[in-house]
Structures are given as structure tokens and as C-alpha cells.
């Protein structure tokens, strides 16, 4: 049984945190006061997207939606730098568009084949050897590693095909793909046999070939999500040329002119640019017409009046199939290349904040304090080290934080809660 086709999924990715710097002092026989030798922490691992030419679906992301790279190792004594965290590589099909899930902006188009780093690992913290100065010869503090980047991203697969076959269900798209290419799609005489796009390479002659995509049948209302709707209209977005198949046999009691107009309306509703894409119109199942060619001639007149080239076709008997493919190749020769989406994502500026923006909220005897400036300060302090704690206290006093607390009415013995840090206030 074929795996379900997954072409749109939202995942969460997070790079590794940088390793903490080390507090260490050189110890050696006969060497007094060897000085600080704490090494820096390692860099956190990145999250990288990579194209896998053997993948044609985002099925690997159907059940696992969170991916986190490894953290950097902490620094060590003897000026040893911690090991960098291992990066995580996520493989996706060629043609996957990576978007920011919140804004919808394009971060990268995985069409060229190059790797894309979506989240960079945090920088490792400095060891105490970096803080030694002439006046501070024995620093007993180090810097913690910085957190890695994290994003919610939307992965959207848009097929990289030169030509897309469009039309109502059961008009013969899969049959045509099977007779002109190396593809082997499932073919049966009922609607929605094709449940996911199929790709095939059409060889015209040496040096001339193109990728043909069989897009599952579109129905009226597809642009609004009816039927397979949005699931597969997106796969036509990159196609340089459309081949519009219309059943003229009347075997299902449908009117070919109405069918043609209905599909064109759905393409236009989905995207005005898509509706303006060049089209070749093929009247399929001509072998079932018999002597009554009324539908065929009506469709021909209607299509040619719109400026589209018209072809007679019988995909089942291959009549007219290669003529249509050669015409498609001739059109492609003077059309621009497959669309590659330009990145328009702008990373938000980090919240620097200021001490004045710290919010203070009292609940009984506990004072809750929050703010971007305060969060950055807390992240930069090693609370296990005395000198680092004194630095934290000095920064708060210089910023007027304690003056604000006293003006708000704090008393000795009250608890001050700053994120995950709590201490008892003493004036």
C-alpha cells in the first residue's frame, strides 16, 4: 500500500544552546598562583535543511514535529574549549518552500539543492581566563552559553515540474503521463484514482526533455478548498506551461466547453498569475467520438477564440500524444525557467528593552518582575558564582531597580521573583 502523500506540515525547530564557560585555575607543582585557565563553552548545533533527491513527500514530518540540535559542551580546565553541539540535518524533497509559520513569509526555497541553516546554534560562554585583567587576576566567574535560535516553520512542497496536466477527474491525465513518460501512475475508470501528484520525464530527442506532472483532478470550488482543492492546486504554481485535458467523448454526460471554462475559472480564482500561464488544450478520448464530432468542433472554436492551441488526442491509443509533447517542448524553449521563490522573511529585531520597561507586580509578599532587559541580564549571569552575583546586584542598583521597588512599597523580608530566580529583599 502506498504511503500517504504529505505536502504541507508545520514543525518546530530549535538550535542547540552554547556551552557554559568554565571557572578553573591552573594547578601545577612548584607553580604558585597559576592563574585562571577556564575554557570557553562549545557552540550549539545548527538546524539544517538539505535536499534529498529520493524524497517526493514530507511524510517524514507527519508524526514527529519537534526537532532540537545538541547543546554545546561546557568548557574545561587547562583552557580546554567545550565540544561543539552536533547539528541536526532535516532532509526534504526538492521544491520544498520553507516559510515562517506565523507570518507566512518565505525563508528559503529548497530548489537549488544547497543546504539552508534555519536555526543557528548559540555561542559558547567565555571561560574565566578571558576575564583576567591586571586588577582582576583571579576572576571566579564565567559566562553562560547563549540560547540557540528557534522557529515554527511551515514546510510546503511545490513540485518542480515544467508542465502540469490539469483537468477534471477521469479525463485521462494519468493515462497520458503513462504513455509519454517513464512514470507508472495508478489508472482506473473512476474519479480520484490519482490521490497525489505523479511526475514523469518526457524525452523528445537527445538533449530535449522536460518534467511532466499529473495533478489530481480539480473540481468546481477547488480554489475554495472543495474536493482535493488547495492540497494540489499549489503544485501547479511552478509549472511553466499547462496542458489542459478535456473529455470530448460525452461518456459521462458532461459538456466539454463548460468543463474547460470551469477549470479556467478555478485556476483564476486560485491565482490570476496562474490563470495567465500559457496553455495547450487537448481534447481527449477522440477515439470514442464516432461520427458525431459536434462537441469536438464546439470546443475547438471556443478554445481557439481564447488564443490557445488546440490538439486532438486519444491517450489510450497514443494517437496525437507525441505531437502534443513536441508542441509542449517547443513552447518551453522560449518560456522562462521554473519559478524559484525569493526569500522575504525578515527576522524580528531582538528585544533589548530598558530598565525603565521592567514590569513590577505584587502578589502578597512576593514581587514579580519581568522585562526584556531583565531577561537578558539574568541569562548572562552565573548565579553559582559569588562575583557574578555581585555583578548582577550592581547592574540592578545602577539601573535604579531597587529604588523602584522601595518606591512601590517593598519591605525587608519580601520575596523578589525574577523569572526562575528568587531572593529575599534586604535594604
**Residue 14 φ/ψ, nearest 5 degrees:** -145, 130
Same domain, 212 and 130: no
Q: Which three cell numbers stand for residue 70?
A: 545538541
357-396 pLDDT per residue, tens: 899 988 888 898 988 888 888 877 777 777 778 888 999 9
Helix, strand, coil percentages (3-state) for the chain, rounded to 5, are: 25, 25, 50
Say if 338 falls within a structural domain. no
CATH number, position 363? 3.30.300.350
Same domain, 83 and 201: no
Same domain, 109 and 231: no
Same domain, 1 and 136: yes
Say if 17 falls within a structural domain. yes
- Determine the pLDDT at residue 6: 66
Domain final residue, candidates 104, 137, 157: 157
Distance CA 352, CA 354 (A): 7
Distance CA 402, CA 204 (A): 79
- Among 51, 35, 41, CA closest to 17: 41
- Among 247, 414, 233, CA closest to 316: 247
Same domain, 131 and 167: no
- Determine the pLDDT at residue 134: 78
Same domain, 30 and 99: yes
Average pLDDT score over the chain? 85
Distance CA 159, CA 177 (A): 16
Q: By three-state DSSP, how is residue 201 classified?
A: strand
- Is the pTM above the cut of 0.95? no
26-58 pLDDT per residue, tens: 888 877 777 899 999 999 999 999 999 888 788
| Host H or E run for residue 246 | strand 241-247
Distance CA 244, CA 167 (A): 6
Same domain, 302 and 193: yes
Angle formed by the axes of helices 386-398 and 372-379, nearest 10°: 160
> Residue 190 above 50 pLDDT?
no
CB 72 within 8 A of CB 42: yes
The number of folded domains in the chain is 3
Distance CA 415, CA 368 (A): 9
Say if strands 150-157 and 8-14 run parallel, antiparallel, or are unpaired.
Answer: antiparallel
Say if 25 falls within a structural domain. yes
Same domain, 322 and 280: yes
Highest mean pLDDT (candidates 69-73, 101-105, 344-348, 350-354): 69-73
Same domain, 42 and 138: yes
Domain around 19:
1-157
Say if 348 falls within a structural domain. no
Say if 337 falls within a structural domain. no
CB 22 within 8 A of CB 38: yes
CATH number, position 323? 3.40.50.300
Say if 305 falls within a structural domain. yes
Same domain, 286 and 261: yes
Distance CA 275, CA 91 (A): 32
> Residue 228 above 80 pLDDT?
no
Amino acid at each position: 500500500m502506498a504511503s500517504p502523500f504529505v505536502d504541507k506540515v508545520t514543525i518546530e525547530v530549535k538550535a542547540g544552546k552554547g556551552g557554559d564557560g568554565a571557572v578553573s585555575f591552573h594547578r601545577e607543582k612548584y607553580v604558585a598562583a597559576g592563574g585562571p585557565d577556564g575554557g570557553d563553552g562549545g557552540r550549539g548545533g545548527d538546524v539544517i535543511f538539505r535536499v534529498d533527491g529520493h524524497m517526493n513527500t514530507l511524510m517524514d514530518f507527519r508524526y514527529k514535529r519537534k526537532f532540537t540540535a545538541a547543546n554545546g559542551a561546557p568548557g574545561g580546565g587547562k583552557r580546554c574549549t567545550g565540544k561543539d553541539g552536533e547539528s541536526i540535518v532535516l532532509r526534504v524533497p526538492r521544491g520544498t518552500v520553507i516559510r515562517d509559520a506565523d507570518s507566512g513569509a518565505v525563508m528559503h526555497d529548497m530548489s537549488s539543492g544547497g543546504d539552508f541553516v534555519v536555526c543557528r546554534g548559540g555561542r559558547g560562554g567565555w571561560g574565566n581566563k578571558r576575564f583576567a585583567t591586571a586588577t582582576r587576576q583571579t576572576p571566579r566567574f564565567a559566562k553562560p552559553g547563549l540560547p540557540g535560535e528557534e522557529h515554527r516553520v511551515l514546510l510546503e512542497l511545490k513540485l518542480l515540474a515544467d508542465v502540469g496536466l490539469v483537468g477534471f477527474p477521469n479525463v485521462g491525465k494519468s493515462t497520458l503521463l503513462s504513455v509519454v513518460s517513464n512514470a507508472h501512475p495508478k489508472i482506473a475508470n473512476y474519479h480520484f484514482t490519482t490521490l497525489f501528484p505523479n511526475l514523469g520525464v518526457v524525452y523528445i530527442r537527445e538533449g530535449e526533455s522536460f518534467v511532466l506532472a499529473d495533478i489530481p483532478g480539480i473540481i468546481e470550488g477547488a480554489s475554495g478548498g472543495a474536493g482535493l482543492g488547495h492540497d494540489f492546486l499549489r503544485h501547479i504554481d511552478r509549472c511553466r506551461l499547462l496542458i489542459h485535458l478535456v473529455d470530448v467523448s460525452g461518456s459521462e454526460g458532461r459538456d466539454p466547453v463548460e468543463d474547460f471554462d470551469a477549470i479556467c475559472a478555478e485556476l483564476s480564482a486560485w491565482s490570476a498569475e496562474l490563470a495567465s500561464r500559457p496553455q495547450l488544450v487537448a481534447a481527449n478520448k477522440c477515439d470514442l467520438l464516432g461520427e458525431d464530432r459536434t462537441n469536438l468542433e464546439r470546443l475547438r472554436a471556443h478554445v481557439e477564440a481564447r488564443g490557445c492551441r488546440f490538439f486532438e488526442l486519444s491517450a489510450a491509443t497514443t494517437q496525437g500524444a507525441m505531437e502534443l509533447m513536441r508542441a509542449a517542448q517547443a513552447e518551453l524553449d522560449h518560456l522562462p525557467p521554473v519559478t524559484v521563490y525569493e526569500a522575504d522573511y525578515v527576522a524580528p529585531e531582538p528585544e533589548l528593552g530598558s530598565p525603565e520597561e521592567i514590569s513590577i507586580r505584587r502578589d502578597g509578599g512576593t514581587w514579580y518582575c519581568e522585562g526584556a532587559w531583565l531577561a537578558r541580564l539574568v541569562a548572562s549571569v552565573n548565579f553559582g558564582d559569588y562575583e557574578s552575583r555581585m555583578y548582577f546586584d550592581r547592574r540592578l542598583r545602577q539601573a535604579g531597580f531597587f529604588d523602584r521597588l522601595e518606591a512601590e512599597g517593598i519591605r525587608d523580608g519580601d520575596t523578589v521573583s525574577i523569572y526562575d530566580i528568587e531572593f529575599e529583599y534586604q535594604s
